[in-house]
Structure 1
Amino acid sequence: MKIRKLLIILLTIPIYVAQAQTPETEALEEFASPGVRGMGRSQGVEIRYERLPNFKIDSDSDDPRLGNGSGRIDRHNKFALKAYAPLLNKPQNKVVLGFNYELEEFNFENLTPASYDLYRYLEDKNLKSIGAQLLYLHSINQRNFYFVRVKGELNGDYSRDDIKVSDYLKGTVDVAYGWKKSPDYVIGVGLQWGYTFGRQRVYPGILYNRTFNPNWGVESIFPANARLRYNLNEKTLFYTGYRIEGASYNMYVNEPPLSEFKELELRRTDIKGLLRMEREIYDFIWFAVEGGFRQYYRHRVYDDIGSRNEIINNDLAGSGYVAVELYLVPPRKFTERNR
């Protein structure tokens, strides 16, 4: 299985390659960075599985060829595999290369040939995202820094046999400027040109990371996410907060009536209220358990890539969710040796 082979390759990457991301080294203490004391360990390789069980879906369209429909989604599965490695790790300049493979699928309840066309198309369909990103962090001095991240992804319903890069490629750009007030307090401002709210556009953001004492802290990029952190000890962390997630998938349907539109785009935005625990298993191996409530804000199908003309508006009921993660971090002995 190709996913299994890819996983084996990624797990053989030296764990300490993630050192370029951690704020724990002497270099990042001498020069400004977004991290503050008390934050979780940097991740080199991450595997995540998420499930949302049993929720209702209602769909309506003004196009008589599509009509309206309703049904139940038995489960909504998501899988993600990510890896990060430093290309440059200098005191004032960091360059990190990242890769990701993600997919999500819908399984509908009691689906029949007479069911709504969109549901039949999405059943067991892997909506994939394969991407690469490059992050550049420059520490101007002990107080100021900026970073730029460029990311390209192939998002859609493609398979190995029919993939065409120009049909599925989507780009995201993040830029931010920050001030490190102290080792426990960082604030910054930035912009993202991306898909957090479904359609590609420019979104502002405010970075606010602060550790108040050895146990409590806040990590946020408002309005996209905000988390209150509780450090039980150096091996166990708890979080509560919210996260906004968005995605855009290009779809090429070969059966009517959806095939009459040639190129379709599915865009979604959802908001999650979450509780999360991160725990060390053994030095460089950590796991996380996360759960909460997901509420869809927008889930729509458009008649063309980048179009404003929605042809199907899906109303998905709120649902609880649960996710588990396994990830690798720099070994503690390695980070201590570099302080």
Structure 2
Amino acid sequence: MEIRKLLLGALCLVFFTVHAQAQAPETETLEEYATPGVIGMGKSRGVIIGYERLPDFGIDSESEDPRLGDGSGQVRRHNKFFVKAYAPLVNKPQSKLILGFDYQLEEFNFENLNENSYDLYRYLEDKNLKSIGLQLAYLHSLNERNFYLIRIKGELNGDYTRDNINIPDYLKATIDVAYGWKKTPTYALGVGLQLGYTYGRQSIYPGVLFNKTFNDKYGVESIFPANARLRYNANEKTLFYAGYRLEGASYDIFADETSLSQFGEVEFRRTDIKGLLRMEREIYDFVWFAVEGGFRQYYRNRLFDEVGSRDELITNDLKGAAYVGVELYLVPPRKWAQRQAQ
């Protein structure tokens, strides 16, 4: 039922975003302003709907607290579902203000759980760990060579439901700032910082943007160290990628009806690295789909005694696992792009 509601909401966002893109100004000046994008990259996206699955991997858990003890089990599947939408509030040649919304849900299903199974596994079973985010991103081009980006994002991350949500318990904020140089139409370079929870505990993370197209077929897209991909343009409707991506999440949870309930609000953090292969393909004009697969290796997966704490309650050791994901997304209609080029 919840997935059905999400899909219905996503379709509404689809129509809203396509309309917003179609109504973008037609009087763009001919002067070129600097942006992070380069020739050969895929088109910007308005709405994205995606699903990912990691099947069948082992988990071992250790705790120094005798009230929790150690445990082990087998995860039958780890599911992720997400919807993202972006709409331009300001869409001028030199300045763009983008409003973004995203909803993500992930759940774990374990094999052969019973009343004697490890409490953390019993709590996570079929539990919807959610993230609802709202963001504003401002991109400004100073001239033909220089640009900067500021993004502010707020997220509600945790095991809340519609009936028990308390915003201060789950709210997390992220701020990104970046400055870049557009060397040529095929080469953009930038540096930036993020204050956020992308890889678990709130920290400051540096990043280096490097986008370069070498020829009609090959290019590189990266924000190091978070991700890097080699791009192959088969044609204007089909793109292939190979690379890696770091992923993380931080959830505030209240693990009631288990031994974890005595700790009240605890924080579940994870950081993974994925080696990936990806294909993106146009279905019809502004509708594209993507298929991605690869191997996920966990880096950290831990439970902490309170939000923002360094004191670990449980350390989880997850086995590496293959994964597969699919996406359906919208890009600006081709007619609009042709009008912009005139």
Task: Work out whether the TM-score is over 0.5.
Answer: yes
Question: Match of 2:189?
Answer: 187
One-letter amino acid of the structure 1 residue matched with residue 309 of structure 2: S
1:132-190 Cα deviation digits (max 9, x unpaired): 01000010000000000101000000000000110000011110000000000000100
The one of 85, 88, 104 aligned to 1:86: 88
SS of 2:106's partner is strand
The one of 252, 256, 259 aligned to 1:257: 259
With structure 2 as the length reference, what TM-score do the two structures score?
A: 0.96
**Distance change in 2, residues 1:29/1:99 (3 Å):** farther
d(CA) in 2 for partners of 1:27, 1:269: 44
1:231-266 Cα deviation digits (max 9, x unpaired): 000000000000000100000122241001011000
SS of 1:338's partner is helix
**Distance change in 2, residues 1:185/1:261 (3 Å):** same
The one of 152, 172, 175 aligned to 2:174: 172
SS of 1:13's partner is helix
- Structure 1: 5+ residue stretches without partners: none
The one of 259, 278, 281 aligned to 1:279: 281
**Distance change in 2, residues 1:113/1:305 (3 Å):** same
SS of 2:16's partner is coil
**Distance change in 2, residues 1:180/1:13 (3 Å):** same
d(CA) in 2 for partners of 1:167, 1:288: 35
1:184-238 Cα deviation digits (max 9, x unpaired): 0000100011122211100100000000001000000000000000000000000
One-letter amino acid of the structure 2 residue matched with residue 215 of structure 1: K
One-letter amino acid of the structure 2 residue matched with residue 15 of structure 1: V
Question: Match of 2:56?
Answer: 54
Cα deviation, residue 26, structure 1:
5.9
- 1:32 and 2:34 are equivalent in the alignment: yes
Q: Is the CA contact 1:16–1:330 (under 8 Å) kept in the aligned structure 2?
A: no
Q: Is the CA contact 2:226–2:246 (under 8 Å) kept in the aligned structure 1?
A: yes
Question: Match of 1:203?
Answer: 205
**Distance change in 2, residues 1:296/1:18 (3 Å):** farther
One-letter amino acid of the structure 2 residue matched with residue 309 of structure 1: D
Question: Match of 2:310?
Answer: 308
SS of 1:335's partner is helix
Q: Is the CA contact 1:265–1:306 (under 8 Å) kept in the aligned structure 2?
A: yes
**Distance change in 2, residues 1:20/1:96 (3 Å):** farther
- Structure 2: 5+ residue stretches without partners: none
Question: Match of 1:141?
Answer: 143
The RMSD of aligned alpha carbons is: 1.6
d(CA) in 2 for partners of 1:109, 1:287: 32
- 1:291 and 2:293 are equivalent in the alignment: yes
Cα deviation, residue 92, structure 1:
1.1
Q: Is the CA contact 1:20–1:94 (under 8 Å) kept in the aligned structure 2?
A: no
- 1:13 and 2:16 are equivalent in the alignment: yes
Question: Match of 2:121?
Answer: 119
- 1:247 and 2:244 are equivalent in the alignment: no
d(CA) in 2 for partners of 1:153, 1:37: 33
How many corresponding residue pairs? Answer: 336
Over the matched positions of the two proteins, sequence identity in percent amounts to 69
One-letter amino acid of the structure 2 residue matched with residue 7 of structure 1: A
The one of 326, 329, 334 aligned to 1:327: 329
Q: Is the CA contact 2:28–2:92 (under 8 Å) kept in the aligned structure 1?
A: no
Cα deviation, residue 338, structure 1:
1.4
Q: Is the CA contact 1:106–1:124 (under 8 Å) kept in the aligned structure 2?
A: yes
Question: Match of 2:229?
Answer: 227
Following TM superposition, where does structure 1 have runs of at least 4 consecutive aligned residues deviating by more than 2 angstroms?
A: 16-21, 25-29
d(CA) in 2 for partners of 1:313, 1:38: 43
SS of 2:10's partner is helix
